[in-house]
Every structure is written in C-alpha cells, then in structure tokens.
Amino acid sequence: MQILNGTKTAAEIRNEVAADAAALKAEKNITPCLAAVLVGNDPASQIYVGNKAKACQQAGIISRIIRLQETTVTSELLTLIRQLNADNDVHGILVQLPLPKGCDEQQVCDAVDPKKDVDAFHPENAGLISQGRPRFLPCTPHGIVQLLVRSGIEIAGKHVVVLGRSNIVGKPVGLMLVQKGKSADATVTFVHSRTKNLAETTRLADILIVAVGKAKFVTADMVKSGAVVIDVGINRTADGKICGDVDFDAVKSIVSAISPVPGGVGPLTIAMLLYNTVKAAKN
C-alpha cells in the first residue's frame, strides 16, 4: 500500500515554480505578484493567507495582502477588485473565502479579471476547463492530478468516481480527468448526497476522490479492494484532531494507494496557486 505524500510532491512543484519565477525575473525583469484580499477576522482564513504569503516569499513571488474590515460591503470590494484588475504590477488576484455575511461572494469572484483569476473560479475560466482548453486549472483539483501523476498512478482508462459536486473541487476535477490527453482520459462518475445506493457506485471506482466535508464519511465497505483513494476533506474531530473525509485506518488496509490528512492534498493547493501566479505573470 502506497501513502501518497503530498508534502513531498508539493515541495517538488514549489522548487520548479521558484526556478520559473527566477527565470522570468532574469529574462524579462518581471517579478510575479499575487494580491490576496482578506475580509474580516476569520481565524482559519488568517492562517491560510499567512501560509500563502510565506510560500510566495519562498518562491520569489511578491505577496500583497490587503486586509479589510468585517463591515466591508460588496460595493467596496468591487471597487478594490477593479483597482487590482487595472494594476499592471499585480498578476494574480485571490479573494479569500468565505466572505462575511452581507458580501456577495459570487459577484465579487465574477468581478476578478479572468486573466488574473488564479483560483480559476471565474465562469469564463470554468468554461475553458470544460472545453479542455484551460487558461488556469483550479488549485486543489490540479493538485490532485499532480499527486496522481507524480506518484506513478495511471489515469487513462480508469473509472474515477468523484464523491462531491462542489464548484471548487468535485466538478472541476471530474471535468479535468474526463478530457482527452495526458493526465486524463478517465471514465468519470459523479456521486453526491442525493445518489441512491451510494456505496454500490463508490465500490466501482479504480480511483475514488472524496470531497464531501464530513469526517470519516467513507468507510471500508464503500471502497473496492486495490483502489486508489484521494481524500480532499479537512475536518476537526471532537477531541481536536484533524482528519479527512475517509476513515483512513479502516480503508488503508484494502487499497493500493491513499492520500493522508494532513499531508496529502492540502500542501498541493498552495503549490498550484504559486504555479498559476507565475503562469499569469508569463501571460
């Protein structure tokens, strides 16, 4: 059984991104810049943005953190986004979610220039992904694909079951894996909270990707022997420990490979954000 080491894979990608950023600086005197907008005082968001800023610094990317009060309204955010869109020194824009109540997340995310939308949330970028000609790939789904490919796991011809249908993870990762070409060519099935006989379908998966946000939701009887399991969930148990959406201890004995939580998909999300920021600067 193979433990898929996201920390190691992310470090490889971050080293590659740092080399690309250095080359861009040397050849064209361009230093990639990521502007992160943080509204309010959500503790988790504070940590996420801090981690992203530290990762940017290590990769040779300028990190511009813009902190706004909890009372910020949608119109103020839209004015800021317009300013960042027009700023030629800013290559990537990230709006840290969730936004406080009273802020229209959809309207704010849609206002980001698609060419600076390094989260790939804009409907234009989502549409390009669905057509197999992406400008940017969303960070967590791209990290999942990189983890599979760099761990030597074959995707082409495999039956991938995606448990979860969010716009951030479930839908885009399925769309990416069903495309023609390298790192794809899978047969993809989506399952979710309204799927009947859920376990019958998850047991068909050669590769099971789980992103439902429920601690230890996937149990051993839901997984085929020898399957590959990617656990995207991050949950905190009653005793304060972090766990995924998969019952890791129960499932690991029957699978061929599994990503742990923590240390699996999580580190790759930031690595792919850095990758997108450098790509935006090149573009």
DSSP letter assigned to residue 117: B
DSSP state of 96: P
Q: Is the pLDDT of residue 239 over 90?
A: no
Say which of 20, 96, 179, 247 is annotated catalytic: 96
Do residues 206 and 159 lie in contact, with contact meaning Cβ atoms separated by under 8 Å?
yes
Instruction: Examine the pLDDT at 135 and tell me if it is beyond 90.
Output: yes
Is the predicted pLDDT of residue 47 greater than 90, yes or no? no
**What is the 3-state composition of the chain as percent helix, strand, coil, each rounded to the nearest 5?**
45, 15, 40
Among this protein's residues, is 196 annotated catalytic?
no
What is the domain class of 139-266 according to CATH?
alpha beta
What percent of the chain stands above pLDDT 70? Answer: 100
- Per domain, the residue ranges of the chain are 28-119, 139-266
pLDDT in tens, 89-101: 999 999 999 999 8
Q: What is the 8-class DSSP label of residue 100?
A: P
- Average pLDDT value for residue range 267-272: 96
Name the strand (E) or helix (H) holding 191: strand 187-191
**Quick check: pTM over 0.85?**
yes
The count of C-alpha atoms lying within 13 angstroms of the C-alpha of 132, restricted to the half-sphere facing its C-beta, is 9
Q: What is the pLDDT of residue 172?
A: 97
| Nearest Cα to Cα of residue 163 among 201, 197, 137, 215 | 201
Among candidate residues 119, 206, 231, 245, the one labeled active-site is 119
Question: What's residue 41's pLDDT?
Answer: 86
185-204 burial, b for 16+ CB within 10 Å, e for fewer? ebebbbbeeeeeebeebbee
pLDDT, one tens digit per residue, over 173-211 is 999 999 998 899 999 999 999 999 999 999 999 999 999
Amino acid code (one letter) for 154: E
Evaluate whether 68 touches 257 at the Cβ level (below 8 Å): no
Residue 238: CA count within 13 A, CB half-sphere = 0
Res 238: pLDDT: 85
Is 119 an annotated catalytic residue? Answer: yes
Q: Is the pLDDT of residue 43 over 90?
A: no
Is residue 117 annotated as part of the catalytic site, yes or no? no
CATH 3.30.2130.10 corresponds to the domain 28-119 = no
CATH topology agreement for domains 28-119 and 139-266: yes
pLDDT at residue 80 greater than cutoff 90: yes
Give bridge partners of residue 3 from the DSSP assignment: 258
